[in-house]
Amino acid sequence: MEILRGTALSKYLLEKYAKNPKGWNFMIGPSKKDNFFDAMVTWPEENWQLKIESIFKPTPTILGAQVEGPSKNPVSLGSLPSYGYRKIDPEIVLKMLQEREESNEDSLNRLIGSLEPTAPLPGASYAQGPFVFTNQKFLGLSDNQKRLDEKLSSELRNLMREKYLSYG
């Protein structure tokens, strides 16, 4: 199992997304055993499990590996649209925000759900998401996912110790 991190991980996932932007999901939540965050990025061809140092930093340290064998989604996505970049007119979003309706979230969900995901190009405006954030820890992970979670946690702790000498 190959573990990717940082730029290599981002580049790999973006290249895969650009080839087929349909059917992607991005779920994130607190880790079960440490102060990191767990994420699952899934699409029809592959499933990736990520370990993220923090969601409160603009460029956190992130590690990830492809989940081998059968994968289970740790949370239900309900009726949310799939994750992706959707080309959007900034004026429409600005108008929606200026109207300050109580149902702005519903309006935004309908707008995003009505647009097809696409590969982003420089110079255009996109809405990105939805990111499914759950305050619950991921439950029901397969044995493969549990072993991978332990390995990613260990690797990320080691990276944090190298980066910050006083890190626990």
Distance CA 159, CA 7 (A): 15
- Say yes or no to pLDDT of 72 above 90: no
pLDDT digits 0-9 by tens, 17-71 = 999 999 999 999 998 888 899 999 999 999 999 999 999 999 999 999 999 765 5
Structure letter (DSSP) for residue 36: S
Does residue 100 contact residue 59 with C-beta atoms inside 8 Å?
no
pTM, two decimals, is: 0.83
Give which of 166, 152, 165 is closest to 53, Cα–Cα.
152
Structure letter (DSSP) for residue 123: T
Give which of 1, 116, 145 is closest to 65, Cα–Cα.
1
User: What pLDDT is recorded for position 54?
Assistant: 93
- Say yes or no to pLDDT of 95 above 70: yes
User: What pLDDT is recorded for position 80?
Assistant: 76
Return left, alpha or beta for 92; rule: phi > 0 is left, psi -120 to 50 is alpha, else beta.
alpha
Q: Does the bond joining 117 to the residue before it have cis omega, within 30 degrees of 0?
A: no
- Looking at per-residue confidence, does 56 or 95 come out higher? 56
Distance CA 61, CA 64 (A): 10
